[in-house]
């Protein structure tokens, strides 16, 4: 028993046969299964890893059984399970647990299951998903976790103490967490479960926990390079002429962009909902539209849903195979307009994504769009949407049991179905998906989740920062929000689309755009007002220029962003990083919900309050006459984490960490800082991501400590990188000798630049050196 891979401890509890299984997946990750009278052997839909051959030493004493790996000790005693590090320090211990039998319905013979986890008084708890509560630490939360439009859940949390817990259950789950400052029991209670089944992982810090979770449930594939450019969208383009006009206008005005997004109803009326075909009269030749978009070096992403109208081919195929879920969904009426006409019900139904055959049918219908060479998929309503929701809707059958038992994993089943099908038939372009919902493990599809149909208010904007950061802390790095917020009607004082002339909305939109430049996906979208930048002013005007500059800043950082994408994919890194991930010793960062690191070098400080207008929305037409001097400077308070020094990106002025400063925050830009001991790779001005193959890159060193950075490149939009077709160039700054070494290029790929120009700069210095680089190591002093 000294080298047990799968250790079983049998206990007698409440006169029922009760079994606990302790199974090490890695030296740092252990699975705990508690059975109550029946053997639990269901294969996880999330965990794809197999247990490694972990050396586990098992010993017994009068009160406990002790399992020791090289990194983790698990003590199973009469009062529950405790987890200790390899030095014997207590990490976490279980609280109470319960099994409550379900005596009727499809889930008869299953249980409601509950497990507690003890947390310290000052212990920060993070993750769970996208929550619109505005908080970093989820202490004091008491909520029903069920996938929705603006909140999504993954049953995964991690602690400031460096451990994480994945609760492997797919039903609606209740979270109850003790308030900050009070030690107590955090509980997870799921409506349906055959066993208590969770994974405990000790990473030492947030990055280590994320690495363990991705080992369990899948690494992150590379997204296409173009997807890190700017995406323009609105609800909605109603014809191909309207959409192409936007593409033409952006290119004419030389506003950089890479993606245009076609939202819903290109299929026509609601009885044809989600037909996955261009059936509306405004799209006479979709292939011609695609060709024109591609000829202008742009890309199209297109919306589709989980529900199908009764007139669609998909509906008929699903109905014939009994793969439709029997609850009301969107759209409620077959007629256009709102409120919906109940006397003309749409009959739309969601497909059963839990069925492999249904996922095959879904892809066959989507193939009609894939054959048009569309570049990206906007998978909307992947929660999926309910209409006239009632708890009894969860009792409908699916291919995997009751919907109640698998409710929260619907988005993973649907998104992964599209990802896997496209990868099977098309290796020439990477799958690109953005979607409204997710579950644990979805990072293995590379899908980017956005925070749903949020309102266009400052309060909503503020909530997106901790929402996206906590999402990242569930091991999925790809997240963003609609820039400007989705529902902007509160600013339409003079009718539809008048928000674009409202100075209050303009200020919010500018600040959201500046923040969106540092999210994994930069996408402007919303309803009630059109969102194209050129509708918000003219060249030379402050608001217009501020928006354009935010987009140009995004493109300037593309070499840095794409290299970070490689770190995410290869080394389990993250894009948006909660401050405590890099500055854990600074307790002021533990609950900072206003700022974040982008990669390990850039401190992003979004302006989350209006500085030129009032936050309270003025409901009078007089607001349009408000004279705002957009050219006046303003200041905004930001915190600089301690332990390092910081450079103001805009001025190169240097500041000590551990201080709060009043940063300059004119409408033209938000505060941005770079950590001393950083190397930034910044690209030249381009109109689209692939324009110059990363030639003429500026290497900007921020001295004060040694620094390293790896510049990564590949073909940008296929899977050859998985075969080793990519290159890396290691950059190292020696702060003592004041020298930069540009290392030997490692690897190659088709189309790679054989020689290029690097422009080396030192922050705070006017000195510039131009280096002609041919792949050989060189040192610049």
113-171 pLDDT tens trace: 999 999 999 999 999 999 999 999 999 999 999 999 999 999 999 999 999 999 999 99
Q: What is the distance of C-alpha 499 from the center of its chain? A: 28
Q: What is the mean pLDDT of the chain?
A: 96
Q: Which pair of structure tokens corresponds to residue 771?
A: 């280096």
Q: Which DSSP helix (H) or strand (E) runs through 272?
A: none
CB atoms closer than 10 angstroms to residue 457: 19
What integer is the mean pLDDT of 301-314? 98
pTM of the shown model? 0.97
Establish whether 453 is a catalytic residue.
yes
Q: What is the CATH number of domain 6-217?
A: 2.60.40.1760
- Is the per-residue pLDDT at 15 higher than 70? no
Question: Among 202-216, 324-338, 460-474, which is the least confidently predicted range?
Answer: 324-338
User: Which of the following is catalytic: 380, 532, 582, 691?
Assistant: 380
The answer to whether the CB of 651 falls within 8 A of the CB of 669 is no
What pLDDT score does 38 carry?
Answer: 85
Is the predicted pLDDT of residue 69 greater than 60, yes or no? yes
The whole-number pLDDT of residue 9 equals 38
Where do runs of H (alpha helix) occur along 340-490?
356-370, 403-406, 410-425, 458-472
pLDDT at residue number 7:
40
The separation between CA 420 and the C-alpha centre of its own chain, rounded to angstroms, equals 19
- 3-class DSSP state for residue 581? helix
- CA-to-CA separations, 616 to 354, 459, 528, in angstroms, rounded: 45, 10, 19
Strands 184-193 and 173-176: antiparallel
Token code pair at residue 609: 């309050």
Asked if 125 and 474 touch (Cβ cutoff 8 Å), the reply is no
pLDDT at 432: 98
* C-beta separation of 17 from 37 below 8 A: yes
Q: Considering 180, 205, 360, 453, which one is annotated as catalytic?
A: 453
User: For tokens 């005005």, what's the residue?
Assistant: 253
- How far apart, in whole angstroms, are the C-alpha atoms of residue 582 and residue 643? 10
Q: Is the pLDDT of residue 251 over 50?
A: yes
CA distance 667 to 119: 43
Judged by DSSP in three states, 14 sits in: coil
pLDDT for the residue 14 = 31
Residue 625 is a catalytic residue: no
C-alpha span between 359 and 417 (Å, rounded): 6
Do 484 and 512 contact (CB within 8 A), yes or no? yes
The set of residues, in sequence order, having a beta carbon less than 8 Å from that of 320 and lying 6+ positions away, is none
Please check the confidence at residue 17 and state whether its pLDDT lies above 60: no
Alpha-carbon torsion (134, 139, 140, 145), positive or negative: positive
Asked if residue 745 lies in contact with residue 727, where contact means CB atoms within 8 angstroms, the answer is yes
Q: What Cα–Cα distance (Å) separates residue 211 from each residue in 202, 203, 411, 479, 531?
A: 10, 8, 22, 18, 38
Which candidate in 352, 383, 573, 714 is catalytic? 383
Q: Which residues contact 201 (CB under 8 A, 6 or more apart)?
A: 26, 28, 29, 30, 163, 164, 165, 166, 209, 212, 213, 216
Query: Which residues fall within 8 angstroms of residue 364, CB to CB, at 6 or more apart?
Result: 317
35 is catalytic: no
Longest dimension (CA), the chain: 80
Q: Fold match between 6-217 and 678-780?
A: yes
Q: How far apart are the first and last CA of the chain?
A: 60
Q: Check pLDDT > 70 for residue 13.
A: no
Model confidence pLDDT, tens digit, residues 469-497:
999 999 999 999 999 999 999 999 999 99
Is the predicted pLDDT of residue 6 greater than 80, yes or no? no
Domain locations along the chain: 6-217, 678-780
Superfamily of structural domain 678-780: Golgi alpha-mannosidase II (2.60.40.1180)
Q: Please report which helix (H) or strand (E) contains residue 260, including its range.
A: strand 259-262
Q: What is the pLDDT of residue 491?
A: 98
> What residues contact 32, with CB distance under 8 A and at least 6 apart?
20, 21, 22, 81, 196, 197, 198, 199, 200
Contact 416, 217 (CB under 8 A): no
For residue 11, pLDDT beyond 70? no
- Please tell me the distance from the alpha carbon of residue 323 to that of residue 350, in angstroms, as a whole number: 9
Residue 1, pLDDT score: 36
């Amino acid at each position: 028993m000294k080298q047990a891979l799968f250790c079983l401890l049998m206990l007698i509890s409440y006169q029922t046969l009760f079994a606990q299984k302790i199974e090490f997946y890695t030296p740092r990750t252990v699975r705990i299964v508690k059975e109550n009278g029946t053997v639990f052997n269901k294969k996880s839909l999330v965990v794809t890893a197999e247990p490694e051959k972990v050396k586990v030493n098992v010993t017994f004493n009068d009160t406990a059984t002790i399992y020791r790996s090289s990194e983790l000790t698990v003590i199973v005693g009469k009062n529950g399970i405790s987890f200790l590090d390899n030095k014997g320090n207590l990490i976490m211990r279980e609280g109470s647990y319960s099994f409550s039998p379900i005596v009727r319905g499809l889930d008869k013979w299953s249980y409601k299951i509950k497990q507690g986890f003890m947390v310290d008084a000052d212990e920060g708890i993070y993750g769970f998903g996208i929550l619109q509560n505005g908080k970093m630490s989820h202490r004091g939360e008491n909520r029903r976790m069920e996938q929705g439009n603006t909140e999504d859940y993954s049953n995964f949390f991690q602690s400031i103490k460096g451990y994480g817990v994945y609760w492997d259950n797919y039903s609606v789950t209740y979270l109850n967490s003790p308030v900050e400052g009070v030690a107590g029991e955090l509980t997870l209670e799921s409506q349906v479960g055959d066993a208590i089944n969770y994974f405990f992982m000790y990473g030492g810090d947030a990055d280590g926990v994320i690495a363990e979770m991705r080992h369990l449930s899948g690494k992150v594939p590379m997204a296409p390079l173009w997807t890190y450019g700017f995406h323009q969208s609105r609800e909605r383009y109603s014809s191909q002429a309207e959409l192409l006009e936007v593409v033409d206008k952006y290119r004419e005005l030389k506003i950089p962009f890479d993606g245009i997004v076609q939202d819903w109803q290109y299929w026509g009326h609601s009885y044809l909902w989600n037909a996955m075909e261009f059936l509306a009269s405004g799209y006479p030749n979709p292939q011609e539209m695609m060709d024109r978009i591609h000829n202008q070096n742009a890309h199209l992403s297109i919306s589709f849903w989980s529900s199908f109208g009764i007139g669609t081919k998909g509906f008929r195929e699903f109905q014939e195979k009994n793969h439709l879920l029997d609850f009301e969904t969107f759209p409620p009426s077959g007629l256009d307009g709102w409120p919906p006409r109940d006397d003309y019900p749409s009959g739309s139904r969601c497909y059963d994504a839990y069925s492999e055959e249904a996922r095959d049918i879904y892809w066959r219908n989507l193939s009609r769009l894939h054959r048009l060479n569309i570049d990206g998929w906007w998978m909307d309503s992947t929660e999926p949407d309910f209409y006239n929701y009632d708890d009894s809707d969860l009792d409908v059958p699916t291919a995997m049991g009751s919907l109640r038992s698998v409710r929260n994993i619907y988005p993973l089943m649907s998104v992964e179905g599209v990802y896997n099908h496209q990868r099977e038939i098309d290796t020439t372009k990477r799958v690109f998906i953005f979607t409204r919902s997710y579950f644990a493990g979805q990072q293995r599809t590379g899908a980017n989740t956005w925070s749903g149909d949020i309102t266009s208010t400052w309060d909503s904007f503020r909530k997106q920062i901790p929402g996206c950061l906590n999402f990242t802390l569930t091991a999925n790095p790809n997240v963003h929000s609609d820039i400007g917020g989705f529902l902007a009607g509160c600013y339409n004082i003079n009718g539809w689309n008048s928000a674009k002339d409202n100075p209050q909305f303009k200020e919010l939109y500018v600040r959201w755009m500046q923040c969106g430049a540092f999210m994994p996906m930069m996408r402007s979208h919303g309803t009630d007002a059109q969102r194209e930048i050129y509708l918000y002013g003219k060249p030379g005007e402050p608001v217009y220029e501020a928006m354009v500059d935010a987009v140009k800043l995004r493109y300037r950082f593309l070499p840095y962003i794409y290299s970070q994408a490689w770190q995410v994919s290869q080394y389990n890194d993250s894009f948006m990083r909660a401050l405590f991930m890099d500055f854990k010793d600074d307790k002021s960062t533990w609950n900072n919900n206003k700022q974040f690191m982008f990669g390990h070098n850039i401190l992003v400080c979004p302006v989350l309050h209006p500085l030129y207008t009032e936050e309270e929305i003025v409901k009078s037409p007089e607001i349009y006459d408000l004279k705002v001097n957009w050219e006046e400077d303003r200041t905004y308070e930001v915190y600089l984490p301690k332990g390092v020094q910081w450079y103001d990106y805009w001025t190169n002025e240097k500041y000590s960490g551990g201080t709060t400063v009043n940063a300059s925050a004119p409408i033209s830009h938000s505060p941005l800082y770079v950590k001393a001991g950083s190397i930034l790779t910044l690209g030249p001005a381009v109109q689209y991501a692939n324009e110059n193959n990363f030639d003429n890159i500026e290497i900007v060193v921020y001295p004060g400590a040694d620094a390293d950075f790896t510049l990564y490149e590949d073909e940008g939009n296929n899977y050859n990188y998985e075969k080793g077709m990519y290159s890396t160039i290691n950059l190292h700054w020696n702060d003592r000798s004041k020298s930069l070494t540009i290392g030997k290029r490692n690897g190659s790929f088709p189309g790679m630049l054989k020689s290029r120009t690097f422009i080396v700069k030192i922050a705070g210095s006017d000195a510039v050196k131009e280096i002609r680089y041919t792949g050989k190591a060189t040192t610049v002093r």
